[in-house]
Amino acid sequence: MHSIKITSFILLVFACIFTLLPPAIAGDENDKTTDEKPKTVEEETVYETEDVVVTGTRTRKLLKDAPVKTELIRADDIEAKGAVSLLDALRFEPGLRIDNVCSVCNTTGVKISGIPARYSLIMIDGMPVFSSLGGVYGLLNISADDIAQVEVVKGASSVLYGTDAIGGVINIITKEPGKKAHGGIQIEGGMFRYKHLSGHASFSSGDMGLSLVATHSSHDSVDRDGDEVSEYAGYVRTTLTGIGHVTVTDSSRASLRLSVLQENRQGGGLGWNGSFLDVFDDVDVRRAFSESILTRRVESALKYIHDLEDGTTLDSSLSLTYHVQDSDYEGEVYAAEQFMAFVQQNAQFQFHPHYDLVAGASYRYEHLDENLAVASYTHHMPGAYVQGDWLIADWLEFVHGARFDYHNEFGPVFTPRVALKIDTLEWMTVRAMFGTGFRAPTTFYEYAHGVRAEGYKFKMDADEPERSINATLSASFDFGRKLGVTLEGAYNRISDPISWETTGDGHIRVFNVDKELEVIGAELQLQSQPLRWLNLSAGYGFYLYDDPGGAMGSAAPAQHITAAANVWFRDFGFKGSMTAELFGPMDLEAVYGTGYNALPGTKIEGWLDEANADLNNPKDKESPWHGVINLRVEQRVWKGLSAHIGVDNLFDYHQNDHETPLYFPADENNQPSPADVIYIWGPLRGRFFYAGIKLEV
């Protein structure tokens, strides 16, 4: 019955979106081209060579002209890092932090300017495909070979994107098939029996183009301190993505993306022979401190764009996501099935030579079945939005918009936004934004990650959406190729944030906190190309947190410093990169509470007994300054063939050299309670060498 409902729903959504499409989808031979004036040679050159972004306004803008401040991670930057996945691509970026919230299974999220990762909306080509279950175990689905660029908009952006866009938006723009057929393969290996194989191919024929990307990776679990409990989870992961583009008529085009992921992840108690079966056979010890996650995920997305004769652009989008997880958490079996659908129709048109308008309607559907929740949830979120972009003068631009959503459980939500761009001086641009955002809470166990061996259920007592108010002010200074400077200040206040507590019967209660979460941040970014072959960048962020209700979930640094240097000698075929990241102190006690380290020499059996807590060795209240440096060099060996070698975490910094991420939390009487796995503030994998070869044809 459930599968019949899903099938019926899919057919209904397809029917709705194609009903909304203009007749041009049929390929009418009488279609006329638009009256848009052709670009001059100079205009075409500028358009093709300068960065174009879409996320801040849903319209194409040159990066320097975007009225809503947008930060861009280019494909060249991603390649220079040696990134193989989306999370690798986001590392070492100012204001972004990959947040590890579990030392046993390494679940990750992305914090924007210190705000909890659940408030970051991650999209692919403008469509949300990650939520709840997928937001924790689906982010590695995206191969770096798929990414043309990543656009980051910091601050509340629900006016255009709806739920989850409280801290900001990360939009992955996928690569389009090339005009000429090409392909490549990369083979990489490294420490901890790391292996990575990836291949891509792209070709076009007439009005059609197709690209394929496939990856297969594996990595062993890592136990730094020898207590037989891993800090870095091992995995075997396979992904496959296909993207097709077709020009339907002179004025319309369509694209389709299909992506699949299969991943097995194993962390925690290590088998005597490193065997998965050893862990499961030892029910009372290793299995009771292990997490095994089997993930299967399918994403599909369809986009159709049609340009009308009057200059109006119609954008129709549909995405469908199916995510299955079958896991064993410390002896408790967790199984979940999630279905997510998103359909949207928007229009971009010009009311006046100086006034552009974007208006649209969307519908987002989420359904989650899980065996450990009190009740699975089904969310329906229809919404509509409108945003105007008024060029008041050559130096003044005013963006203003509002959105209305209706959630079947949390009711109506109204989210307005305004933004200003002022550039009276050729070398300085000032941007200001005041916006609002919201997030619809779910019952997924992301709120208190991990499952006790004795099991527990969830009780969902949250009856309000999480809401935010955000104000940002930035100034960008452009002194040419030699120096670019950006200063930004931001204020974020989140009301009705979600928190959780253990009930008297040992279950988890999720509820709205009646105290607000506030995050104030200031960021500085520097960019320079002092020489044709050298690019330099650096960033600094300073953040203040006020979280009286305990809604943060994981510790965040008060200061964050990033730096990067990339060299490229084209004539010699040599590329080199250095990326560095430094984190200031984190208030660990405020987030994780008081806790104790284990007695010296404690092995896995000892972690199951709180009597092994060292009452004379409490956990650090504040983390130390710490950081990592990565190096990578690549040399062209022959036409299309190159070799590379790299080292991550050059100075081998590891949290376990100071204190383990495992700890015994103190109860209300300051006595140790059963061990937990989330006391994380530093790297959980040490120095890592890798090397590989790449062939492009």
Q: How far apart are CA 252 and CA 254, in angstroms?
A: 7
pLDDT at 529 over 60: yes
CATH code of the domain containing 238: 2.40.170.20
Say if 450 falls within a structural domain. yes
Token digits of residue 419: 């933004």
What's the number of domains the chain is made of?
A: 1
Token digits of residue 302: 């369809």
- Note the pLDDT of residue 334: 82
- Note the pLDDT of residue 105: 86
Q: How far apart are CA 210 and CA 233, in angstroms?
A: 35
Question: pLDDT confidence of 446, banded at 50, 70, 90?
Answer: low
> HSE-up of 267 (CA within 13 Å, CB side)?
21
Say if 30 falls within a structural domain. no
- Note the pLDDT of residue 333: 82
Residue at 637: amino acid letter: V
Q: Locate the DSSP E strands across 48-146.
A: 52-53, 61-62, 71-74, 96-100, 108-112, 120-124, 127-128
Residue range 231-260: mean pLDDT, rounded:
94
pLDDT at 391 over 50: yes
Question: pLDDT confidence of 39, banded at 50, 70, 90?
Answer: very low
Query: How far apart are the two ends of the chain, measured CA to CA in Å?
Result: 49
Burial classification of residue 1, based on how many CB atoms lie within 10 Å of its CB (0-12 exposed, 13-18 middle, 19 or more buried): exposed
Chain segment 337-357, per-residue pLDDT in tens: 999 999 999 999 988 889 999
Q: Mean pLDDT score of the chain, rounded to an integer?
A: 87
- Location of structure tokens 């077709």: 246
Q: How far is CA 565 from the centre of its chain?
A: 24
pLDDT at 38 over 90: no
Taking the CB of residue 188, how many other CB atoms lie within 10 A of it? 19
User: What sign has the CA pseudo-torsion 561, 623, 494, 516?
Assistant: negative
- Location of structure tokens 């939500």: 413
DSSP 85: B
Q: How far apart are CA 597 and CA 618, in angstroms?
A: 6
pLDDT at 551 over 70: yes
- Note the pLDDT of residue 619: 95
Q: How far apart are CA 613 and CA 235, in angstroms?
A: 30
Percent of the chain with pLDDT over 70: 89
pLDDT at 10 over 70: no
Token digits of residue 56: 């801040």
Ramachandran area for residue 570 (φ above 0: left; ψ -120 to 50: alpha; else beta): alpha
Token digits of residue 265: 């992840």
- Note the pLDDT of residue 540: 97
Chain segment 483-521, per-residue pLDDT in tens: 999 999 999 999 999 888 777 777 778 889 999 999 999
Better-scored residue on pLDDT, 432 or 480 = 432
Chain segment 124-145, per-residue pLDDT in tens: 999 999 887 787 787 777 888 8
Say if 371 falls within a structural domain. yes
Task: Give the max Cα distance, the chain.
Answer: 83
Taking the CB of residue 546, how many other CB atoms lie within 10 A of it? 12
Say if 245 falls within a structural domain. yes
Report the SS3 class of residue 260: strand
- Note the pLDDT of residue 302: 96
Chain segment 580-608, per-residue pLDDT in tens: 999 999 999 999 999 999 999 999 989 98
Helix, strand, coil in percent for the chain, rounding step 5: 15, 55, 30
- Location of structure tokens 């599968």: 3
Say if 34 falls within a structural domain. no
pLDDT at 29 over 50: no
- Note the pLDDT of residue 315: 96
Say if 301 falls within a structural domain. yes
Say if 443 falls within a structural domain. yes
- The residues, any chain, with a CB within 8 Å of residue 375's CB and separated by 6 or more, are 443, 460
Residue range 78-104: mean pLDDT, rounded:
90
Question: pLDDT confidence of 280, banded at 50, 70, 90?
Answer: confident
Q: What is the DSSP string of 174-202?
A: EPPPPSS-EEEEEEEEETTTEEEEEEEEE
Backbone angles phi, psi at 76, to 5 degrees: -65, -40
Q: What is the DSSP string of 208-229?
A: EEEEEEEEEEEE--B-SSSSSB
CA distances from 157 to 169, 400, 476, 579 (A): 7, 12, 21, 29
Comparing 132-146, 147-161, 557-571, 629-643, the range with the smallest average pLDDT is: 132-146
CB 245 within 8 A of CB 678: no
Residue range 443-447: mean pLDDT, rounded:
58
Q: What is the 3-state secondary structure (H, E, C) of 268-313?
A: EECCCCCCHHHHHHCCCCCHHHEEEEEEEEEEEEEEEEEECCCCCE
Say if 33 falls within a structural domain. no
- Note the pLDDT of residue 25: 32
Percent of the chain with pLDDT over 90: 64
Token digits of residue 620: 């650090």
* Domain hosting residue 514, numbered range: 2-24+49-696
